[in-house]
A and B are shown apart, each in its own frame.
Chain A
Amino acid sequence: MVFSSLNFLFLFLPLVMLLQWAAPEPLKNPLLLAASLFFYAWGEPVYIVLMLISVAYNYLAGRQIGGRRDPHRRRAALIGALAVNLGMLGFFKYYGFLVDTLNGLFGLHLANHALPLPIGISFYTFQALSYVIDVYRGKAKPQASLVSFAVYITMFPQLVAGPIVKYTDIERQLTDRRTSLAQCGVGLERVVLGLAKKVLLANNLGMLYDAVCAAGSRSVLTAWLGAAAYTLQIYFDFSGYSDMAIGMGRMLGFSFDENFDHPYLARSVTEFWRRWHISLSSWFRDYVYIPLGGNRVRPARHILNLLVVWMLTGLWHGASWNFVLWGLYYGALLVLEKYVTGALLKRLPGWAGRACTLILVAVGWVIFSNTDFHAMRAYLGTLFGVGSAGFADGAFLYYLRNNLLLLAASVACCGPVLRTWQLRLAGRRPAVALCLCAALLLACTAYLVHGSYNPFLYFRF
């Protein structure tokens, strides 16, 4: 099930919320677990078995690691858990990719029985890993209740597209959480804003990017317009999803950390990654980058660390070489910023740093969005005038005119200004703020009922 569908918003969510409020304390977790399993099974019931195996295995692994004193045995149990989790992720996500790559490199004809990707496997595997590693490090106590642990892994708000919640962050809330009507309101406000980002902005921006990509030839400006549209689309798509997840978590009594912090206001690529998909980058920082030595090593080793982490980050986003390239692109940019351009960037005025960062990020998204290398090369070429149909053309004016308001609204929503206004309005004129929320909800419903174009970019992961 996806959040931006009528059956989720009008049937599943209200039913689950009413049950959660009405249920007595001991039934809350079992009900939430049942709801989450139903949510996952909807549309793809088979892989629920895989997720349940993962839950049961990691539950046992946590108890095993936590219950042992002997460091060697603890270590062995941890390595076992890492191998099983990464093995499962590797098999279901990367097997087909590996076979294709080997076939391509060596001209082999290995049979490719790649399975369809189990939804959310990258997210729930990473959550499970954070749990077993934190138990091993002594930061978390092993969870005694299988149901509570299963709720942590499968909880429907963050199950299929994050944010990646660390076990230590919600350990207490798994057994003790309170809600009130006002807390529900706080959550709902986030859900409405997230839904609007997704349905009103991201979906419409996506249609613009698709139209630009579908055109046989494009001018330089059209190509940049398309890249801008995709840059905005992926932000509103993913951050809208995160907003909804955080909001629904709040309605249930959980508080998840923020996943985005106005990333397109960043003045450097380093800062961009501190603001974008924060739960993923901090996961890699805590469980890969710092264990590798982080930046407290010789520069050569530091550069290697960065590149390894960013290659893995890229690969995490999808089993395709363009994601690896995209990861390495960021690895290289971060190394450059650290050792070469960083000092220069600091001396630039803020707007110039922002502009440079945005251009680099937009180019990155073009790499990210094209799994086909020929299409990617062609698109990147037209951005810089290679193989383009001139600098500007009629199509550019047409797309600009058709999407001017949408683009303007999207750009405005990239900063914190609108959110500040909205908060101030809700604090001073609650009736007006309510009408605003109602209008957004009406508009979203209208687009969902019409429902022609509604993809989730982050569902591949």
Chain B
Amino acid sequence: MKKKRLLFLRGLAVLALAAVLLLDAGFVLLPDRAFSPVENRNLQQRPAVTLRGITSGRFESRFESYVNDQFPLRDRWVALKAALDRLMGRTESNGVFLARHGYLIQDFSMPAESEYAANLAALRTFSERHPELPQYLLAVPTALSVCAGELPAFAPAGDEDGYLDRLQRDLASVPLQFVDLRPDFAEAGKGPLYYRTDHHWTSDAARIAYLRLSEVAGLAGETGRFERRLLSNRFCGTLTAMSGFRTGERDDLYAYLPREGEVRCVVQYVDEGRKSSSFYQLEYLDQRDQYAVFFGGNHPEIRIETAVDNERTLLVLKDSYANCFVPFLAQDYRRIVVVDPRYFTGDLEQLMETERISEVLFLYNAATLAADTLLRQDLVRQ
């Protein structure tokens, strides 16, 4: 064997061993992390050794996740992988498109026919059970259909528009009123409707939706009692974490805060047993998921008492899109009960009776509504 080749082979063996030992030392010595702010998820901890766990294979798979999650410099490796993906010309990662003008846009996956039918049947059953109550469905289009022009050319995205069209048609014969936001969003030129790095809509988009709902439901129809304020210019949303794309970029996060003394309320977090006089929890601006500044994220049930002098009580069945939207309603309803079926375990019908609900609003983004399986369980539970 030639001398240089020999040098290479020996060098490779020594180098590889050194690198492995170094990383292993890091793995053993560095403290385990509980949470990854970059990926916005809990990390696997060292699994307990049990005979049952080993024979079933559960221990082994958890141990593998543990090694992956606690690997030294994990965040750097993830960033390197995303950089390599971009270098290779990838414009899609983990169901997130790398779109133009700094947008990251989540794909929409059409629900299976049986899933769609089950959700539709539940909505219809619920709606026909309460013909006396005004009911509205705000199925909010996501950036995928509203900002379709920003997607990479020819991106094979899910047909969210088709889904919304179909839902609107299928609900035409029941009291539940489908409120279509797409024309309003298409017209709205000013201010971004979605965060670039997050899957949520902005407070500006929520305001447009409020104005649209006002016309349908007879609400105040103006937002002069709120003031648009910049809460953060360092918002880095979940799509960044999901895709690994654009980890360095930041969004502005605006909120419509009630002007001094204008919209008074008591917000009661039922399961947590906590009360507050504000819709906002500003301490979340110091955390990774700054969208949680609205109500502190999702809760099973929130009751809002306002100073409005009428007898209107609203039930909101919702996902996280509602969090920045609900404050606008506080100028129209005496009481608002906000239920997130993904976490709510109570009896919905009973709740409606005791709270003397007079109107119902479903507020979901199209992607969650299509994929959700928990709302229908609350709607048709006997």
Binding site for A on B (CB under 8 A): 1-2, 4-17, 19-21, 23-24, 27, 54-55, 57, 60-61, 63-64, 67-68, 71, 74, 77-78, 80-81, 84, 87-92, 94, 152-156, 244
Contact = CB atoms under 8 A, between A and B. Distances in A.
Given A181-B10, A182-B6, A447 B81 contact: yes
A449 B54 contact: no
Interface of A: 5-7, 9-11, 14, 42-46, 181-186, 188-189, 192, 204, 211, 215, 393-395, 397-399, 401-406, 426-431, 433-434, 437-438, 441-443, 445-452
Contacts of B14: 181
A448 B11 CA distance: 24
A327 B91 CA distance: 38
A185 B10 contact: yes
Given A5-B64, A441-B19, A188 B12 contact: yes
B61 to A, nearest CB: 7
Contacts of B15: 434, 438
Contacts of A447: 81, 84
Nearest to A399: B156
B4 A43 contact: no
Nearest to B155: A398
Given A5-B64, A181-B9, A402-B92, A394 B153 contact: yes
A182 B3 CA distance: 11
Contacts of A189: 9, 12
Nearest to A182: B9
Given A397-B153, A449-B71, A182 B60 contact: no
B5 A402 contact: no
A445 B84 CA distance: 12
Contacts of B24: 10-11, 14
B154 A394 contact: yes
B64 to A, nearest CB: 5
Given A43-B57, A188-B16, A450-B244, A398 B154 contact: yes
A398 B71 contact: no
Given A45-B55, A211-B156, 13 more contacts: A6-B68, A42-B60, A181-B13, A395-B156, A398-B152, A405-B89, A426-B8, A430-B7, A442-B80, A446-B77, A449-B77, A449-B78, A450-B81
Indicate the member of B6, B10, B13, B14 with the most A CB atoms within 10 Å.
B13
A404 B87 CA distance: 11
A140 B11 CA distance: 39
B81 A428 contact: no
Contacts of A184: 9, 13
B17 A43 contact: no
Contacts of B77: 445-446, 449-450
Contacts of B64: 5-7
A402 B67 contact: no
Contacts of B156: 211, 215, 394-395, 398-399
